[in-house]
Amino acid sequence: FDIGIVLAKGTIISLITAFFLMPSLIYMFDSLIKKTTHKNLIKESKWIPKLLYKTRFVIPIIALGLIVSSYFIQRNNDFGYSEYNFINESKSISESKTKINDAFGNRNLFSIIIPKDIIKEQQLIQNIQTLVTTEQVPLQSITSATIFYTKFDETTFVNFLTSYGISTEQTNQIMIIFQLMESQFSQTEFSIMDMMAFISQTSALSEAEKMQFAPFFAQFNQVLSSLSSDNYHRLILSVDLDIESKKTFGFVEKLYNSIKQTFPDDSYLLGESVAIYDIKEVVYTDYQKTSVLVIILIALAILFSFKSISIPIILVLLIQGSTWINMSVPSLLNQNLLFIGYVIVSCIMMGATIDYAILYANCYVNNRKERIPKEAMAHAFEETKYTVLTSGTILVVAGYALSFISTIPSIAIFGDLIGRGGLISILLVLFVLPQVMLIADKWIIKKVKAIE
């Protein structure tokens, strides 16, 4: 949303500057502009229009085949949806991350919020343990409120206390209580809640002895309060998985389904990977809807401007074709792209290509009022090539400059996309669009009083 607002605001400011400020500046510096005028660096090239006319039935077919194949190729692109790629590609950050993982392990945390139901919660924990085994995901820990209600024997309880960082001295004191309960109740298994209730209620311990267990109570009460509220319990799942990867997204989807099977209503799955997964699902759908809407609006604008159905179809196909060709290259090179970068580059290419295409189409239609198709095509080519090459070259240089300067590959790829996209737009507008306009001339010029 923010990027959309910035792009729209930038366009509005550019229009205001171009229409209201630039004419005044040109008028003010008119004499200086005349004094510094130089010869055209781009010479007139009569052979190019002739070549375009001769190959008018060949190049468009090749271009159409390239556009169609690119559409299917670019659909195989792999996208990133977070800053995870930057972390991996930045040397200093990556080294720090590696040191942390070596010391503490690669911890990917998930928080699961469910209604209070101990039986179902235990069932969900079993399902999660089965899932991580099936998916071959290294399980680090599952922390839940059920641990306070789970029955332990002496051995498992000692192991549990050790895993929670309880000191040996405290563990020995707690186990004395455990043994006291065994003799008093003739049982061998007790839960933490059983022990806490026994310590607070028994007359076998003095108040001073009970106070010795205050740190134990405080530690576990703190954990319990973070896992339980009046109506909900929280499970904290820790696994050894990357924050963002295909395997992670697959695990998130199956984990979500497993939770919904046990708790169909009023359950929630949270975590960094879950947030990125949600972004992936929502952003892609939003972008597809936005693209369709933008294409329709562009087609309507061109339709009302040129009063021709053929021109909007040709120009929209050209816009989309330039984007598909550009985005097919990362797929062929097996490059990962940040989705937000893909969106921005698509917007830039769409704006640039449609500008160039409308410029040529307008020149062609105007020339057809006085010239035959072949001559109109040649004149429109000469009239627009200076603007298209100047503007397009700036885009190409800016893009590749970003690519060469950036030391982070994910950013450098944006530069490649912008630079290559500008080049593709120039080639399609100057060397494919003129031929397509020639072929579709009789449909384009229906309402224009043109020379036949």
CA neighbor of 296 nearest in space, from 313, 318, 321: 313
Q: Are 323 and 406 in contact (CB under 8 A)?
A: no
% helix / strand / coil in the chain, to the nearest 5?
A: 75, 5, 20
105: confidence class by pLDDT, cuts 50, 70, 90: low
Residue 451 has pLDDT above 60, yes or no: no
- The mean pLDDT of 378-388, rounded to a whole number, is 90
**Three-class SS of residue 251?**
helix
Cα 326 to Cα 417: distance, rounded to the nearest angstrom: 7
Residue 31 has pLDDT above 80, yes or no: yes
Q: Are 139 and 132 in contact (CB under 8 A)?
A: yes
Cα dihedral 93, 98, 99, 101, rounded to 10, equals 120
The whole-number pLDDT of residue 94 equals 66
Cα 338 to Cα 342: distance, rounded to the nearest angstrom: 6
63: confidence class by pLDDT, cuts 50, 70, 90: very high
Cα 357 to Cα 363: distance, rounded to the nearest angstrom: 10
136: confidence class by pLDDT, cuts 50, 70, 90: confident
Give the phi and the psi of residue 55 in degrees, each rounded to 5. -100, 20
Mean pLDDT of the chain: 84
The whole-number pLDDT of residue 191 equals 82
Cα 318 to Cα 428: distance, rounded to the nearest angstrom: 7
The whole-number pLDDT of residue 446 equals 66
C-alpha distances out from residue 253 to 78, 138, 307, 356, 412, Å: 18, 17, 49, 44, 32
Query: In this structure, how many other beta carbons lie within 10 angstroms of the beta carbon of residue 311?
Result: 24
The whole-number pLDDT of residue 325 equals 93
Which one has a higher pLDDT value, 213 or 75?
75
Q: 302-320 pLDDT, tens per residue? A: 888 888 888 888 888 888 8
Q: Are 141 and 269 in contact (CB under 8 A)?
A: no
The whole-number pLDDT of residue 189 equals 85
Q: 171-209 pLDDT, tens per residue? A: 787 788 888 888 888 888 888 888 888 888 887 778 887
Q: Which of 42-46, 82-86, 435-439 is modeled with the greatest confidence?
A: 435-439
Q: What percent of the chain has pLDDT over 70?
A: 94
CA atoms within 13 A of residue 328's CA, in its CB half-sphere: 15
The region of weakest confidence among 1-10, 45-54, 189-198, 206-215 is 206-215
The whole-number pLDDT of residue 7 equals 85
